Amino acid sequence: MSDTQTAEEFREEQKSIAREQALTGDNAVPEQRPQAFNQPDPEAESELFKRRQEAGDFDPPDKKAYDTAGSDAQLKKAEKAEKKIGPETLTEGAVVRVTKKGHMYEGAMGVIIKVTYKNADEAAKAASGVPGAARFAKASDYLVRSRGGAHALFTVTPDEIEYVPNGFTHRESDI
């Protein structure tokens, strides 16, 4: 509302904007945020960006950093790391394969049915319901139910298994 505009004029202007946005209620409040596609200049730099540049605490990445981040070698490295790590903390229902050499169930696939955390703080983090915290709770071991005929239950540590992202893609009845 500008200084020269009366309250009645302001309300009429709001009603007309509300009608344009198909808002019909008498107390309808029209959307005031600028739409992303309607921004004046996509190349314009924000005030925050300008202030940080002037203060000298922002150095834009050089071309080499962009090229390295998008290179095939970097993508393959990231993909390999993702396959190795899987989700930050495996939770109940995650499908895993035992990879530890010499483990009694080496090669077996199974489903995690219980997670034991390293301490009470980690268990509280996992139970907090805060995704950022729960994802990084450290597990000490997992109780796994194997897939196949015997349905064995066994305990493994996080370094003895690998996450199987697509779950069970076929039956392995001999496990």
Helices (H), 5-71: 7-20, 47-55, 63-69
Q: Can you give the pLDDT at residue 174?
A: 41
Tell me which of 3.40.190.10, 2.40.50.140, 3.40.50.720, 2.30.30.30 is the CATH number of domain 89-163: 2.30.30.30
Q: What is the pLDDT of residues 33-42, one digit of tens each?
A: 666 666 666 5
Task: Give yes or no for a contact between 116 and 89, defined as CB atoms under 8 angstroms apart.
Answer: no
For residue 13, give every residue at least 6 positions away whose Cβ sits within 8 Å of its Cβ, in sequence order, or none.
5
CA distances from 8 to 4, 5, 11, 57, 60 (A): 12, 8, 5, 48, 49
Residues (pLDDT < 70) of the chain are: 1-2, 27, 30-43, 58-61, 81-88, 149-150, 167-175
Task: Give yes or no for a contact between 27 and 14, defined as CB atoms under 8 angstroms apart.
Answer: no
The DSSP H or E segment spanning 45 is: none
Domain-by-domain residue ranges, the chain?
89-163
Q: Can you give the pLDDT at residue 75?
A: 80
Q: Can you give the pLDDT at residue 136?
A: 79
pTM summary value = 0.48
